Structure 1
Amino acid sequence: MVQSTLLTAILAFTSLAAAQCGAGTPHATVTGSGNSYTATRGSSNVYTGTDYRAAIQAALDSITSGQRVAVLASGSIGASTISVGSGKTFEGCGTINVGNKSGRGAIESLDTVGANIAYLTMTGNPYFGLRFYGTRDLTLGKINLDLSGGLGIRFERDKAANSNVKMDTITCTRAGSHCVETWNIDRLTIGSVIARNVGECGLLLQKTTNARVGLVDGNNVAAGNGYATLRFANENGKLNGGYSTNVFVDRVVSRGGGRGIFCVSQSGGAQIGYVDLANNGNNAILIENCYGVNINGGTVSGGGEVRLAARTEFANNRDINISLRVDGTTVRESPCGDNTNWNLSGNGGRNIC
């Protein structure tokens, strides 16, 4: 089953982060507070000064692949960037406050192999909280983004692609844009994305294939706009020119905000095991020009309609299979798709083909 396969995959990589942040003997540490920070590697001092970011980067630069840095201190890096190199493990045990550096991430790992950000608590208003491209075997562990704006995690669109990306639990509050936005990933595993009061998407997957996601949970996500708690876009799930099922999501929960689930722009190849959607301010579900999308069960209660639609610039929906209980809102299919299969219950009105 999908759930047991996903659980096995998650356990395989979260075991790396089973201990507490900073536990054991990290190869390098950052300590201090206020305007005094020290970076130490083993018995050697590699930085002492007032610059929190410089202390963190010095600690990272002092270790080699297979080694670990624990940032025990809290502080602010301002509008600057921390870079995590290949094979290095970064543990942000304190709270890292960040500023906005145009087009850049507060923390980045670019063109790397085996980088691991095992723990992180970030506050502030970044352009991107974390930014990636060209990564292989990247692991993100327990990431807590308590922001006042900006975008949480971004995999770049126009840079080198990524493979074998694993995330454990991503918790994101008050991002102005998306909590997690992916482009160009083959083989993606996510345990959960928890989004609260987020301006755009909780999880946005684009040109991502062979993906397995446990839970996407959004509350007040994408209010007043066309985004969604979970969105597939820009040929997401298109694999070897077709749409065989390769994107698996166990469960989607969405309350209020804008849309619950949105599939658009020639995306598909997706299976969602169970949905729990209530009082979404826009469509509870919108499927528009998508292919091979299966929603296997769950409930929609109130809020915007469940809608199958199509734009004229793309081929119409095809091979859509939806099993749902829908109460307090409507179900509408217009225009009629190709090979649409409905299995509906509940009191919601229906205008389907």
Structure 2
Amino acid sequence: MTRFSFLLASALLGLTATAQTPCGSGTPDAKVEGSGSSFRATKGSSAVYSGSDYRAAIQAALDSISTGQRVVVLASGSIGASTLTITSGKTFEVCGTLNVGNKSGRGAIEVTNAADVSIPHLTMTGNPYFGLRISGARNLSLGRITMNLSGGLGIRFDRDRDPSANVKMDVISVTGAGSHAVETWNIDGLAINQVIARNVGECGLLLQKVTNAKVGLVDGDNVAAGNGYATLRFANENGKLPNGQYTANVFVDKVVSRGGGRGIFCVSQSGGAVIERAELSSNGNNAVLIENCYNVQIRGGTVSGGGEVRLSARSEFANNRDISITLAVNNNSVRESPCGQNIKWNISGNAKRQTC
């Protein structure tokens, strides 16, 4: 194991242990209590908000604490079409249920140009534009995040704002998002334990311009039905290192995809990726599509029915190269067109094959 992989594995172990601590345990520095139209935020024994506005109570509690301190939200309520902002060094823990509305272009919760923010527990409902919107984050820790949504996008790292580094996620569970469950851009150093996506309109996990990543499990059921997205998608030069090389630096232990659209999709000059195991069944689009990608390995697993396993290429980018696929493929087909460079197939099962 490389030093980087060892460090990420250690980070995941530490994150999992932290997230499994019961929500609200210990003595928080500030807390939000109440229900209905009556909420109270306190810091220690001092009230910092009392009234009917759930969002105002939470933001007052967040604003009352300083670096290294923690807010626990015990109350459930709705913040409507508004935004909560978390600044550097703060821990935000929601033990109730946070219902949110849709504020165009904004996140229900935002972390912008902040370091050492932690959200160990969060349950969110509603239809946000973005559930969490993040950019310029350093040493961000997301724990057990559950989003039971009726639309919107779960977690978004912005494309056109400052990059992030050293991001850790434990278990991210998203149901009912109209767009992606988790969409990442511009991260160096990403450790994810699990992404669980159910009935999600676009990707389960979308990695873009991400380097030095370790992902445990991506599990999608009815993800990306009827479109070109996938349970797991690499895009927009994902895995391309600063020196322009595609040395393996994105590692995924397991991808499970049932129904929906594509299972695994690598596109637009991405690569440097190793997927240890794939279990793909009845995908409505390609079970696997690799298009203009470099140094990608799928080391084992099964494909049952669904759309074909395909290597393809667009003319505007360099062709696929250094691709190695080991899979048992049944009741499906495997096709390579056009022929790539240094392509290694190890296919078992009854699949029809058209490879170079």
Q: Which band: TM-score by shorter chain? A: over 0.9
Deviation, 1:78, is 0.1
Deviation, 1:16, is 2.7
Cα distance in 2 for partners of 1:120, 1:13 equals 15
Deviation, 1:11, is 1.0
- Listed one character per residue, the Cα deviations across residues 147-181 of structure 1 (whole Å, up to 9, x for unaligned) are 00000000000000000000000000000000000
Match for 1:231 among 215, 230, 233? 233
- Aligned residue identity for 1:25: T
Alignment of 1:154-169 (within 5 A): 154-169=156-171
Q: Look up the match of 2:296.
A: 293
Match for 1:345 among 336, 344, 348? 348
User: Contact between 2:19 and 2:170, CA under 8 Å: does it hold in 1?
Assistant: no
Deviation, 1:212, is 0.3
Alignment of 1:1-353 (within 5 A): 1=1, 7-239=9-241, 240-353=243-356
- Aligned residue identity for 1:168: D
Cα distance in 1 for partners of 2:98, 2:207 equals 27
- Aligned residue identity for 2:205: L
- Listed one character per residue, the Cα deviations across residues 57-77 of structure 1 (whole Å, up to 9, x for unaligned) are 000000001010000000000
- Listed one character per residue, the Cα deviations across residues 85-113 of structure 1 (whole Å, up to 9, x for unaligned) are 10100001100000000100000110000
Cα distance in 2 for partners of 1:13, 1:280 equals 32
Deviation, 1:8, is 2.9
User: Contact between 1:22 and 1:91, CA under 8 Å: does it hold in 2?
Assistant: yes
User: Contact between 1:80 and 1:106, CA under 8 Å: does it hold in 2?
Assistant: yes
Cα distance in 2 for partners of 1:180, 1:109 equals 15
- Aligned residue identity for 1:128: F
Cα distance in 2 for partners of 1:335, 1:62 equals 60
Deviation, 1:5, is 6.7
Cα distance in 2 for partners of 1:42, 1:192 equals 35
- Aligned residue identity for 1:193: V
Q: TM-score, normalised by structure 2?
A: 0.98
Cα distance in 2 for partners of 1:86, 1:18 equals 23
Cα distance in 2 for partners of 1:101, 1:243 equals 38
Deviation, 1:14, is 2.7
Structure 2 counterpart SS, 1:101: coil
Cα distance in 1 for partners of 2:19, 2:300 equals 33
Cα distance in 2 for partners of 1:128, 1:155 equals 10
Count of equivalent residues: 353
Cα distance in 1 for partners of 2:295, 2:86 equals 38
User: Contact between 1:6 and 1:213, CA under 8 Å: does it hold in 2?
Assistant: no
- Aligned residue identity for 2:60: A
Deviation, 1:19, is 1.5
Structure 2 counterpart SS, 1:305: strand
Provide structure 2 residue ranges, at least 5 long, that are not aligned to the other structure. none
What CA RMSD, in Å, does the superposition of the two structures yield over aligned residues? 1.1
Cα distance in 1 for partners of 2:319, 2:9 equals 35
Question: Between the two proteins, what is the percent identity of the paired residues?
Answer: 71
User: Contact between 1:6 and 1:214, CA under 8 Å: does it hold in 2?
Assistant: no
- Listed one character per residue, the Cα deviations across residues 206-251 of structure 1 (whole Å, up to 9, x for unaligned) are 0000000000000000000000000000000000211000000000
